[in-house]
Chain A
Amino acid sequence: MMNPLEIAGGYQPVRKSAQRLRWFFKSFEEEVQRLSAETGVAYAVDDAVLANVFAEWLKAFNAQKPDTSEDNLAYVGFAAGLMLQSLITRKPVSVSSMPSKADFSKPAFFWPEGYLYVTYCLNVRGLVIRKDFQRQQSPNEALGDIRTWWSFKENVEEDPALAIAFLELFAGEEPDWQMPGLFRPERIRELPDAPRPKELKPAG
């Protein structure tokens, strides 16, 4: 299971630090190292593409930033999804080598780059809500379910915005499958009465 990133946010809230390129590079680099040590998968990171990911994410982040502070917590999850969307679209990471005994029925080996992106976004998301909002993230068991990952990989290749909904699913939240790229805080406020997601999109 994942270990949360323990990167000091300094004197400001972690969610503010996470909006800085220096923090993003450092935290991403640490996640790559941590996951490589855990799985034996070696990754190569393209810094220029990673900078593009951040720039794209920052624009998307600012475009839908909520006006009221009561929506900040909900926006943390949405912003993490936006980051996952950018990572999946831009592909800053490639696999240099796989361990000899890789079990491809495990998500970490089935799609190593995607797994890295998801763990990074989940860990940052978890860190922010824990440090800044004193809440706990409870990842869904779908995170380790290979069938979900088949669906995840195929669906985000067709529609990268679905990465936002899948991250909500992995994080144990209610995904918005209809309009995942649109921040709708009122939907989250009404969640107890909201319809449950019926099914994941089929793998193919």
Chain B
Amino acid sequence: MTFEEIVPMTTRSRLPLPRALKMPLRDILRGVATAADVTEEVLEPATALLPGAVQTPFRSALAAFEQAGSRAVTPTIDASDIAVAKDYLKGVDQSRNALETFVSVLAFVWERALSRHGNHQLLFSETVAAASLAVGAGGDDKTSYARAAAILTRLKKANAASRVPGTPVALSEEEGVYVDKTWLSASVWLLSERAPNLTDDIRLLELAMALTEALENDVIIAMADEVLLIETMQSLAEHL
């Protein structure tokens, strides 16, 4: 099973493979897609004032801009990427390559979460995420779950997902919880037992998201206490 079977070819054939782009460029395109989306919402009332002949091309241009960005920034991942990302999270493989793969898997999870919850005005920066984890994420003296919890804390402190990634822009409570749930879902999914094929594994990610959604109050409490976060992560991974 390859990812081609999950993503329709029509959404992939017109642009270069995202993995061929450098990480910062993917970040920029991700921003472009989100900006186009937000622009459309903001300009919606004004659009109605435009002459009819102008409205259609205007909307088409925005839609094309948004779709182009979205296509380019949705990472293609396969089973081996998931395995490498899992090894990175557990501390088995702490190489630079494993880190970059882990971050690209996070980007995949981010886009997946967006598609579940509709449009969102937060951005995820792979560059910021990778930089925050580049220097000693730890692992030698930690259990898999403790290391995963430490990585989550680093991503959070670095504001890898924010209105302006990498800067300390305060998020609303709802946005903060959204980011926490997304990263916890990603960790729980990666740390759990793999499904027999990629399709089922992606479905498992959806279940991880549904589970953290269902346990939102527990997630909020756990994110404020590292020991509890470790326990919660382990429990969720074992029960996924």
Contact = CB atoms under 8 A, between A and B. Distances in A.
Given A20-B239, A21-B239, A51 B204 contact: no
B213 A25 contact: no
Contact of B213 (A19, A20, A48, A56): A48
B240 A51 contact: no
A54 interface: yes
Interface size range of chain B in the complex = 10 to 19
Given A22-B195, A22-B204, A55-B215, A48 B240 contact: no
Contacts of A48: 210, 213-214
Nearest to B206: A47
Contacts of A105: none
Interface in B118-172: none
A22 B206 CA distance: 10
A52 interface: yes
Q: Is the interface of B mostly helix, strand, loop or mixed?
A: helix
B211 A54 contact: yes
Interface in A45-93: 47-48, 50-52, 54-56, 58
A21 B195 contact: no
A22 B239 CA distance: 8
A21 B239 CA distance: 6
A54 B214 CA distance: 9
A51 B207 contact: yes
Interface of A: 19-22, 25, 47-48, 50-52, 54-56, 58
Given A25-B207, A51-B207, A56-B214, 10 more contacts: A19-B239, A20-B240, A21-B210, A22-B240, A47-B206, A47-B210, A48-B214, A51-B210, A54-B211, A55-B214
